[in-house]
Every structure is written in C-alpha cells, then in structure tokens.
Amino acid sequence: MDSRGSACSPSRRETRARLTKIGALAGVFCLLTLLGPAPGRLKTAGARPETGSLTGQLLVATSAMPDPRFARTVLYMLRHDATGAMGLILNRPIGDLPVARLLEQLGMESKGAQGAIRVHYGGPVAGLQGFVLHTSDYQGNDTRIVDDGVALTSQSEILREITTGSGPRRFLLAFGHAGWAPGQLETEMKAGHWVTVPADEALLFDNDYQGKWDRAWARQLIRL
C-alpha cells in the first residue's frame, strides 16, 4: 500500500476510537460533508470495466500477507485502472449509530426515527469520508454504477431514504477506503498477498463478518 493508506483493518481499540470520533462529529460536521464526491472513473450505466480491471471483484488477503493489520481482509474493488485502484473493506464493522442521531447530524427531521445504521471501517484513506455501497435498485443524482447490480452513492440524501424505507434494498455505510498507486496492487498480487474472487450480494452485504473471509477464500479454492 502507498503512503495514502492501505487495505488494513484496525485493531479493536482503533475501531472503538474511530466510532467515538464519528459520534463526536455532531455539531461539528454533518454527513453531507463526510459523504464527499464519489470516486472518479466509476462506470455509467451500461458501461463495462476495462479489460483486465478488477473493478467489481473481491480482493482477499492471503496467509502470505506480511502486515498483520491486513490479515483476513476482504475488499470490494470500486475502481482499478491505469491511474491506480480503490476498494472498500467489507468485514470490519465499527458499530451502530442511532438513526435519529444520524439524521440530526444531517440537519434532517429525526422525529419518529428509530433503530440504528451500522457503520463500517472502509479503509485508512480519507477516514472521515463516508461511502454508501448498495444494490443498484436505488438510483440517486450522485449514484455511480460499480458493476452489475452494485452501485455507490455519496449524496447524503440516501441515508434519509434508507431510514424511511425508500432507499436501496441492501447497503453498507463505510468511512474511509483503501487506495493503491498505479501498478502497486499488481505488485502486491504478484507477491502473493492478495487473490481475487467474484463478488456476490451476500458477501457484499450480509452481516456474517466472522465468516466472510472464509467464504471468500473458499470461493477462490473452488475456482482453482
């Protein structure tokens, strides 16, 4: 990983600290600023990934991963092209934020809002920037298609729509992302630190965080 960050997962102490920091944003930041512009070069509807691109695939850390912070990490690749790569960690939940508190941070009406939304650690780059990865049944003004059936939205209105039941069928809210410089991911893969496997909706969005790496790894073995 380059100096901008890596696909590492935080320790439990770090994740608790991150959750505390996110919770402390009330009155200082709102998710409208945290949910910054969607990463560039994502597909428009109907477009296909570049030849050889890992966009839309799962990146799975192998047992040869030299940095223990990366151990058993599973990422979804948002972008992979000549300019570098970007992905979100899928199996590092941080905690749950009350819906009412979330809407208040957005400056939205929170009356009657119940329940909580789970927050995930997406990676060490831009740690206070939020991303909503979701099924493509939802299409907002800022929605970008990543691959068939999967999209990314950065506009905060999606969170309000999620709380009212008019958002995407399945979603993952993550803060931060993983990033690689041009050619860097390829070098790490040649060193045996990562393998790729096809993504599916369950691996992307279900709550089996403990089993996600095992399931992704098994998919790689089956493909062999």
Angle at Cα 20 formed by Cα 17 and Cα 22, nearest 5°? 110
**pLDDT of 141:** 85
**Among the ranges given (17-26, 113-122, 123-132, 147-156), the one the predictor scored with the smallest mean pLDDT:** 17-26
What pTM value is reported for the model? 0.80
Please report which confidence band the pLDDT of residue 19 belongs to, taking 50, 70 and 90 as the band edges: low
CB 132 within 8 A of CB 152: yes
Query: What is the CATH number that goes with domain 12-46+61-223?
Result: 3.40.1740.10
List the domain boundaries for the chain: 12-46+61-223
The predicted-structure confidence for 127-177, as pLDDT tens digits, reads as follows 878 889 999 999 988 899 999 899 999 877 888 888 888 899 999 999 889
- Quick check: helix, strand or coil at residue 57? strand
CB 74 within 8 A of CB 212: yes
Please report which confidence band the pLDDT of residue 28 belongs to, taking 50, 70 and 90 as the band edges: very low
CB burial readout 164-200, b (16+ within 10 A) else e: eeebbebbbbbbbbbbbeeeebeebeeeebbbbbebe
The predicted-structure confidence for 49-69, as pLDDT tens digits, reads as follows 455 899 999 999 999 988 776
The predicted-structure confidence for 74-115, as pLDDT tens digits, reads as follows 999 999 999 999 999 999 999 998 888 877 877 777 777 778
Closest C-alpha to 178, from 60, 66, 95, 82: 60
